[in-house]
Structure 1
Amino acid sequence: MPAKSKFETFYVQSMAAEYDSGYIFLPEHQYVDPIVLNELLEANNSFPCNTTGEMEVWTTNPDLQARSKWECINYVSEDDLKEWECDSLFDSLIKGDYEMGSHWNPSFLSVTWSDGDQEAVEEAISNHLEAAPTQADLDEYKRLKAKLGL
């Protein structure tokens, strides 16, 4: 069993529809490439929607590198956490920018907005993670999508 990292990392992807917006919150071990995440969202939500902007990556690891060009890394130091009076990066995220109310349980993969089909999208993302596509699969998907101009 691998040793647990002393660092915390969370991926937060904004999403929007005509009349609603929200976030997809992914712990580090449940990372999904932003392109694939958008496809899963579009295919599994009950109304038209898409991911928006860069994926926000929040981390206490000063050496973390972006996995794709659609990610923006935000480093948070131990001093930052102390200043914000938070015990962990997780606490700072759910008490700050990404606080989504008492119905939200962001300790695991979660999709948050008022009218979307959170459960169907969460299940689709979980199923994708369980299928464990290889990096070669993702690279081929991106190549084909670019070739088709999508």
Structure 2
Amino acid sequence: MTPDSPAAGSPSLPQAPTVVSRCPGCGAVLAAVPGLEARHEGASPSCTRLFDVTVRGLRDEAPSDLRAAGLVQLATAAYDAQHGGDADTVQRLRTLVGEGARRPLLERPPAQWRTTVADIAADLDVVDLPVLLRSWAQAVSADWAGDTD
């Protein structure tokens, strides 16, 4: 034990509080990471980083795996629709989900999303990523339609 370390059983030193921020696009509340730059219009730097980390494995596989490439497209469309999405972005998502133009489209993004990339990342230890991404994409499409169920 060094002179600076607390004795066994003694209370630990207080830690600095975690600074959090709310993503302006999807509303996810995430730890703010100093030094990250905003790379996606309408998203917080922490949210963009979480998305990148969540789909990294699929992106690595995408050049040689069509299924992984399709999932990356789907995830990107869902993310884009929540972060500054417009009618064209949402239509691209709906095409990938297989819905076409069957649902109405709100004039502006919904005030609250039922699922965000933070939910996907939190559930990765219990549900397969492809299942989570498909569910997320369907929820985003439903949110843009104003579905409340």
Give the TM-score taking structure 2 as reference length.
0.24
Based on CA coordinates, which of the two structures has the bigger radius of gyration?
2
Which structure shows the higher helix fraction? 2
Which structure shows the higher strand fraction? 1
Give the TM-score taking structure 1 as reference length.
0.24
